[in-house]
Amino acid sequence: MELNKYIDHTLLKPDATNEQIMILINEAIEFNFFSVCVNPCFIDLAKKALIKTNVKVATVIGFPLGANTTESKINEARDAIKRNADELDMVINIGMLKQGNIDYIINEINSIKNIAGEKTLKVIVETCLLSNDEKKAALEAVIKGNADFIKTSTGFSTGGADINDIKLFKELAAGKIKIKASGGIRTREKAIKMIEAGADRLGTSSSIAIVKGE
């Protein structure tokens, strides 16, 4: 199993510096990770540094709370695409989901996907804040919104990726959408379990330890 090609090598901490992002980028080049995932202010730096590589640049939209207006998320997405980001990881409005306003969620996702076009859109639903029924509703909304991935977590809430959530999404999605496990994946063993449960991509800041089995 080529674990490196499942990994979005991630640094989204608010105190990240250019120097730290360059370390992340150089690690991604060395280990040939699928992508780096960085905050929007680092898109230009990452694209320039990775121009002669196969490593993609992912960024985040409405991160980490998802409570921004749809219009602000649209503006973020437009700016990210203008800067040639390859993938967008957007956070849904979790409160809207929990109060049952599913059409809001679908329309917001679809609006961002229309901007992303052929580029990959991953939708973060923050599973640790949802009941099983809400997870099912979130999955249905992500599929109806025409996104490419459902993603478990921001890594900034009360919990991260859970193996049972991956299994649930895999079973219910029936191949209609891919799954990104993110949050708290720090060991090779856990990474492999997530993939075996159905994850198509992993978001982690422990990428090197995972591929080295440390």
Rounded Cα gap, residues 60 and 88, in angstroms: 6
What pLDDT score was predicted for residue 148? 98
pLDDT computed for residue 1 by the predictor: 79
Quote the pLDDT of residue 214.
77
Task: Supply 98's token pair.
Answer: 């929990």
Q: What is the pLDDT of residues 66-85, one digit of tens each?
A: 999 999 999 999 999 999 99
Please tell me the CATH superfamily of domain 3-212, with its number. Aldolase class I (3.20.20.70)
Tell me the pLDDT tens digit for each residue of 86-115: 999 999 999 999 999 999 999 999 999 999
| Residue 81 · residue 57 · CB < 8 Å | no
Q: What is the pLDDT of residues 10-55, one digit of tens each?
A: 999 999 999 999 999 999 999 999 999 999 999 999 999 999 999 9
Contact 79, 61 (CB under 8 A): no
Note whether 122 and 87 are within 8 A (CB): yes
State how far the Cα of 12 lies from the Cα of 183, in Å rounded to an integer: 12
Handedness of CA 109, 113, 114, 116 (dihedral sign): positive
- Which pLDDT does position 96 carry in this prediction? 98
Tell me the domain boundaries of the chain.
3-212
List the catalytic residues: 89, 151, 180
Task: Show the DSSP H helices in the chain as ranges.
Answer: 18-31, 43-49, 70-82, 94-98, 102-116, 132-144, 163-173, 188-197, 207-212
Give residue 143's pLDDT: 98
Strands 7-11 and 87-91: unpaired
